[in-house]
Amino acid sequence: MHFNFIKIFILILLIFSCSKKNNYNKIGKEQIKIDSFYLADSKIQSFIKPYKKAVQDSLSQVLCYSLKSHSKSDSELNSAIGNMMADAVFEIASPLFKKNYNINADFVLLNFGGIRSGLPSGEITIETAYKIMPFENTVVLAKMKSQVIKEMINYLISEPKAHPISGMKIEISSENELKKFKIQNKPLIANRDYFVLTSDYLLKGGDNMNFFKKSDSIFTLELKIRDILIDFFSKKDSLDIKSDNRFIYTN
């Protein structure tokens, strides 16, 4: 079932809400309390009922199962759900950018605030993906010089959060000093271009990630991160995701 049912459902409500014309001799205002006294229009309810059911049936489709429940705040610097989201973007989007632009992505950086819900245990549905990522954010590929990558590192360690990352490893001291940084298990190489998978929101400087504005080139596919999650879930029988050592404090 096509996910645009949700948008169609909202559009229908708007059309019917504007269908009745009212004539007034003067402009005024009145505060009207909305409660059970005002009953839903039965004709409207009957009309939208099949659309509402189609949306509900689509959203309740089971994609896979999660062995445990997870929150984005489960771990200080990297969470299981954040790792899953970043790994999903790398796994699903990277081959598509390779196919369309013949470019190999180096790593993924998303934002902690972009995770809007936890991952429940048990059935994982299409609705689960909508709850985790309710926004229309798309994945983009940004070409960035190594000097800009250094700015990115400074951002990540200045106020450490469990931003979803994949393909890189960061170790910092308890005083937030950089101890080790690697991309695909290799140190940062000076005067080299790197290709970073991120969201269109962050590309515009969202969450103060203004270093993305210094990207040399941008490549797009109009692929929503939410749809990546749906595809990722569909390819799994069960999820056993974990926090790991991709971003950690070290002595």
Prediction pTM value: 0.81
Q: How does residue 167 score in pLDDT terms, banded at 50, 70 and 90?
A: very high
Q: How does residue 175 score in pLDDT terms, banded at 50, 70 and 90?
A: very high
The CATH architecture of the domain made up of 64-249 is Alpha-Beta Complex (3.90)
Averaged pLDDT of the chain? 87
Q: How does residue 41 score in pLDDT terms, banded at 50, 70 and 90?
A: low
Among 239, 195, 230, which Cα is nearest to 216's?
Answer: 195
Packing angle of the helix pair 5-17, 42-59 (nearest 10 deg): 170
Q: How does residue 35 score in pLDDT terms, banded at 50, 70 and 90?
A: low
pLDDT at residue 8 greater than cutoff 70? no
pLDDT tens track for 9-32: 544 444 444 444 444 444 555 665
Tokens encoding 202: 């962050």
Once rounded to an integer, what is the mean pLDDT over residues 157-173?
97
pLDDT at residue 182 greater than cutoff 60? yes
